[in-house]
Chains A and B, each alone.
Chain A
Amino acid sequence: MNRICFRYACGKELRYLSHLDLLRLFQRALRRAGLPLAYTLGFSPRLRLSLAAPLPVGVTASREYGEIALAKPVAPRIFCRRLEKQLPKGLLLTGVALVPEGAPPLAATVNAALYHAAWNSSRPAPPEALLQSSLDKLFAKPEIMIRRFGKRGKIISKNIRPYIFSAGLLPVEQGPQLRLLLQVGSKGGVSPFRFLEQLALEDEYTGGEQCWRIHRQGLYIYRDTLIDPFPEGGEIISGQENFSKL
């Protein structure tokens, strides 16, 4: 099985796309690129494509990951050259790597997402001291329950406290900015919007999710330390980390 992992950045032009929209976009781009794609068997053949940890709608990102199975081996350099021509403005390939035989899919191993949230509202920004005390209050809670509508209008409650690894203020000039490390993936997770919503319940001056612009810095495997999930020895195509400015 020839699997390729690609890393990409998603800019503000495309931040309103849903996860399914993005999947469709990549499917079509890969088809246009004329790569030897592998399909599932059966009456309705599909690409073996996955994108790790859905990006919340409205969020830009620097280091996202996708995986695609090919019918025969293609060098990362060539894969990159073919695919990048087919990506719209707002999507940038930043790395391509062969996935080692037998490695689990990235979607199954990535479990943490690092977000930066910058104040983005015509309302005056809350003072940092106030933000810090709201964060402290929120963290002091043994559980943080949120409610949302599930299927057939059923209300589902869940405790998001275990999914918040850390949250703090970033020491930046034009603040305030928050740094949020949140759990993602199959074992549960929380979106940065829900976190900010809860923060606003502690103190309304923190503004709620509408007042912040959110950028996802990267996806990680979190086990005591943050581990970069990109396969080792991967071809790093471009280091344009500044591509998606907040």
Chain B
Amino acid sequence: MHLEKQLETLLPQVQKPARYLGNEWNAVKKDHRTTAVRMAFAFPDLYEVGMSNLGLKIIYEIVNRHPEMLLERVFAPAADMEALMRQQQVPLFALESRRPLREFDLVGFTLQYELSYSNVLNMLDLAGIPFHSSARSGGEPLIIGGGPCAFNPEPLAPFFDLFLLGDGEEGLPELLERWLALRQSGAGRDEILAALAAVEGVYIPGFYRPRYSGGSFSGMELIHPDASPTVRKRVLRDLDSSRFPLAPVVPYIEAVHDRGIVELFRGCGRGCRFCQAGMIYRPVRRRRPETLKKIAREILRSTGYDELSLSSLSSCDYPGIDELIAELNREHEAEKVRFSLPSLRLDSFSVALAGQFRQGRRGSLTFAPEAGTERLRRVIGKDISNEDLFTAIDAAVSAGWNQFKLYFMIGLPAEEDEDVAAIATLCDELRRRIKDERDRWIRLSVSAAIFVPKAHTPFQWEPQLSRSEVGRRQALLRSCTGGLKGVKLSWHDPGSSFLEAVFARGDRRLAPLLVRARERGCRFDGWSEHFSLKRWLDLFEEMGINPEEYAYRRFGEEEPLPWDHLESGASKKLLIREYRRARQDNPSVEVSR
């Protein structure tokens, strides 16, 4: 094959050529000539990031197990590989078959974070696929999207033929089966889209036209007879008996999360007001302990991993988590398997749980208090006390840990300087009380992210704090934590959080800007070495768009929002109620009930 030969000359010249091989353990290679539905799953970031994603593993399993379907992976090539591909005119290809992306029937992008949007366009460009849905013919692949950002996909709307909202386990196979039947019946592209609109969870952006008045979004107009006024997300009812990836692809190079994943439950029973995942993955659905133990056993046998992550939005909330880990430890004692939890709830982390991680002590434990004061934590709906934090850390220290990561946010609604300073006070108190007992400093890594208002959350109306004010509060935090030995502070760049906020609440007027941003070389905006705020600000100015209107404005409760027609499961009424309660410092009503 021609492409194969070209690759042979490229691979010796790039960093980490094993990113582009596609022959990893458990990779599935199916015959394109005898498989009716050929889909590529595109992850708009580097291989080692994408290979850590649970969604990819699930979709890979669900589609490839189907005898008539195949799914291959493609990631954003790193800058060195991209340069060579362009120079040698090598089109973007899927890893398993090394076939060009444009030879596939469908290309599905997973939209995990807003700062990967420039990569989506760049990947289409590298694949030689026209950006705009309207410019693509029946011979081009259908471009579909899913993942959290599909709940406000408007900045990307003109580039996608459809989005699938919600869980993919049942929705995607149904979509692909319908697509196949339509294709076999000889239906054209428009006919196919019209029929697919009936699949629950499918949003076809081309069937809707936004209206604007006085410079702001004023509502969605339905311009196709098959368009429904609202699109409800797909919900997998029975998680426990749904198919889970038991033999995931094992990367050769080190992935960001280089371990197996067992998903305990989907959704989150907490109602943190800033958290989009907590809203869009509702309701809570659990797997039974027996199912989980079987999954763990199978994954270990098929991959050879020595670590399994027990993953969920809030894994400590799994009923009987202590016993589950104890049983897993017992069963896999001889193979020296480590079990880890991604991040821990302070109020449900117990001494019993701390004791279960015998082999994990070399690592660190992660807690997310989010805010420095109890008052601010009430505002954001994360109702935990300082006492909870102390109890949790004490438990962990007595079980042998001495390294902790603490996640905070700067710029939360109603944040005052006291709240910022309190982060430092809290860290100081923590290290002192533990030093008293153990006579050695614990190590605290404190990460201060920047609040980004997200669609479908009670804080979707809130403005983001201006970059200069974020900068001032970050400086305040730095000066407060500066003298604390053992405390390491890291923070996010206000510029990239600003861009994230623009796209998180953006509308279709941003699409032409994305096209131009890609031309100007915007890629990997989530990577500080690639991100340039100035380049983006210049683009906004050229296009006559005021980005602050999206990021810094308080949206009105009565105002139509560009994502109002997409139903996440948390109704606008509920979001408004929580938004108002937040402003009275009230704890959240647990929204999933």
User: Do they bind each other?
Assistant: yes
Nearest Cβ on chain A to B75's Cβ, whole angstroms = 16
Chain A residues with Cβ below 8 Å from B13 are 210
Chain B contact-residue range equals: 20 to 34
Q: Please choose the segment from A12-20, A107-115, A146-154 that sits at the chain B interface, where 4 or more of its residues have CB less than 8 A away.
A: A12-20
Asked if B352 lies at the interface with its beta carbon under 8 angstroms from chain A, I say no
**Residue tally, chain A, CB below 8 Å to B:** 26
Q: How far is the CB of A200 from chain B (nearest CB, A)?
A: 16
Across-interface contacts of B331 in A (CB, < 8 A): none
A21, closest chain B residue (CB): B252
Q: How distant is the Cα of A97 from the Cα of B18 in the complex, in angstroms?
A: 30
A170 CB to closest chain B CB (Å) equals 22
- Is A31's CB under 8 angstroms from B306's CB? yes
Which A residues lie within 8 Å of B300 (CB)?
A: 31
- Could you give, for residues 1-42 of chain A, a 1 whenever the CB lies within 8 Å of some chain B CB and a 0 otherwise? 000000000000110111011001101111110000001000
Which B-chain residue is minimally distant from A30 (CB atoms)? B304
A28→B252 CA distance, assembly (Å): 10
Flag if A89 contacts B304 (CB, 8 Å). Answer: no
Distance of A14 Cα from B11 Cα, bound (Å): 12
A32 near B304 (CB under 8 angstroms)?
yes
Minimum CB–CB distance for B143 against chain A, Å: 30
Contact A28 B336 (CB under 8 A): no
Question: Given A86-B304, A89-B23, does the pair A21, B253 have CB atoms closer than 8 Å?
Answer: yes
Q: A124: shortest Cβ distance to chain B, in Å?
A: 17
A18 CA to B23 CA in the complex, in Å? 15
Residues of chain A with a CB closer than 8 A to B301's CB: 32
Taking a contact as CB atoms closer than 8 A, the residue among A16, A28, A57 that contacts B305 in the complex is A28
Expressed in whole angstroms, the Cα–Cα distance for A39 and B361 within the complex equals 17
Chain B residues with CB under 8 A of A58: 11-12, 17
CA distance A86 to B302 in the complex (A): 9
A28 and B18 within 8 A (CB) = no
User: Is B362 touching A28 in the complex (CB atoms < 8 A)?
Assistant: no
Q: For chain B residues 18-41, which have a beta carbon within 8 Å of chain A?
A: 18, 21, 23-25
CB-CB under 8 A from B21, the residues of chain A are 13, 16
Contact residues in A for B242 (Cβ distance below 8 Å): none
- Chain B 135-146: CB-based contact to A (< 8 A → 1; otherwise 0): 000000000000
CA distance A25 to B252 in the complex (A): 7
Q: Is the CB of A17 within 8 A of B306?
A: no
- Flag whether A88 is at the interface (Cβ < 8 A): yes
User: B528 contacts which chain A residues (CB < 8 A)?
Assistant: none
> B254: CB under 8 A from chain A?
yes
The residue that B12 contacts in the complex, of A28, A39, A88, A210, with Cβ under 8 A, is A210
Judging by beta carbons under 8 Å apart, are A43 and B362 in contact? yes
Q: Which residues of B contact A88 (CB under 8 A)?
A: 23-25
Does the CB pair B335–A31 fall under 8 Å? yes
